[in-house]
């Protein structure tokens, strides 16, 4: 009789399925071949085991805690009910075919460019809604991304890398700031750590908008990059090209977070500050991870 030996990641993936090859998003199975004793009392068994696995693989508890918040925001921890469940399998299939069928990735990207105007598009996937190229940096494959434990490992390590970048531009001991009704205020959704706030937002948007210094302008509702050419900035270059702000490069606003709206489909939008609020809302439940 032949014996088949599965790798740890393969075994972990199969354990998290109700049927082999068909992801079970309603519950998370063991993160280990044998369940360890539950460590984190503020989490259910499944999230506790996933957290223990991520930490055992080198993720820092600080980033695991906020990584869980991101998983909650991105997919409600992989639950099948809701928007995530309807697109999870198609995203996985597209990425799997891109890996295994020559030319499929190029064809997929061509179609996305024609249909949506997106260049070099790759579907985000799994519980983390992460692109495979980022996950591979942390030795997390497509099957791992379909599990909570694999996704949490990738998210936690990626968040740490984002934090290394944003901490060069934001304070780690002060909250972020936003403009509200023409006034500069402390961001009510802040973690208390402006660099962490911008790292969490960067998970959704990338770091480009958060690798700048922002300065006051001649309009109370707007800040602008301090290095704007000719000290002028157009916040709406396509819709209102003649709306030009005058930038004061000597009046730097520390820890300022610009509010950026992105379309999510069906004429719906999400802002980066709204994204942070949701992540922080989840994270408040995870105080036992230290």
**Cβ contact 263:187 at 8 Å:** no
Domain ranges of the chain: 8-165, 171-283
The tens digit of pLDDT for each residue in 59-87 reads 999 999 999 999 999 999 988 767 677 77
The tens digit of pLDDT for each residue in 25-61 reads 333 334 444 556 778 999 999 999 999 999 999 999 9
Mean pLDDT of the chain: 85
Average pLDDT over residues 186-214: 96
CA dihedral 150→156→158→164, nearest 10 degrees, is: -160
**Cβ contact 178:214 at 8 Å:** no
pLDDT above 90: residue 147: yes
The tens digit of pLDDT for each residue in 72-130 reads 999 999 887 676 777 788 888 888 888 888 887 888 878 777 777 778 778 889 999 99
Residue-level pLDDT at 265: 58
Q: How many CA atoms lie within 13 A of 48 on its CB side?
A: 13
Whether the model clears a pTM of 0.85, i.e. scores above it, the answer is no
**Cβ contact 255:37 at 8 Å:** no
Residue-level pLDDT at 97: 85
């Amino acid at each position: 009789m032949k014996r088949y030996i599965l790798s740890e990641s393969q075994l972990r993936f199969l354990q998290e399925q109700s049927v082999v090859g068909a992801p079970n998003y309603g519950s998370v199975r063991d993160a280990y071949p044998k369940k360890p004793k539950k460590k984190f009392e503020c989490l259910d068994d499944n999230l506790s085991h996933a957290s223990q696995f991520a930490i055992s693989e080198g993720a820092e508890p600080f980033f695991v805690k906020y990584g869980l918040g991101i998983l909650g925001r991105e997919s409600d921890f992989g639950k099948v009910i809701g928007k995530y469940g309807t697109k999870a399998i198609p995203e996985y299939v597209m990425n799997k075919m891109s890996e295994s069928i020559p030319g499929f990735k190029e064809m997929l990207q061509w179609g996305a460019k024609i249909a949506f105007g997106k260049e070099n598009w790759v579907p985000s996937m799994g519980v983390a809604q992460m692109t495979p190229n980022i996950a591979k940096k942390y030795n997390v494959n497509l099957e791992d991304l379909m599990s909570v434990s694999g996704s949490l490992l990738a998210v936690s390590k990626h968040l740490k890398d984002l934090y290394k970048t944003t901490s060069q531009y934001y304070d780690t001991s002060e909250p972020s700031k936003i403009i509200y009704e023409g006034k500069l205020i402390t961001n009510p959704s802040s973690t208390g750590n402006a660099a962490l706030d911008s790292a969490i937002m960067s998970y959704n948007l990338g770091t480009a908008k958060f690798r700048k210094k922002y300065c006051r302008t001649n309009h109370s509702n707007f800040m602008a990059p301090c290095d704007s050419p000719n000290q002028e900035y157009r916040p709406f270059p396509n819709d209102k090209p003649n709306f030009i702000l005058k930038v004061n490069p000597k009046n730097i606003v520390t820890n300022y977070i610009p509010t950026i709206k992105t379309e999510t489909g069906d004429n719906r939008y999400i802002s980066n500050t709204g994204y942070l609020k949701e992540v922080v809302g989840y994270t408040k439940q995870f105080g036992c991870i230290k």
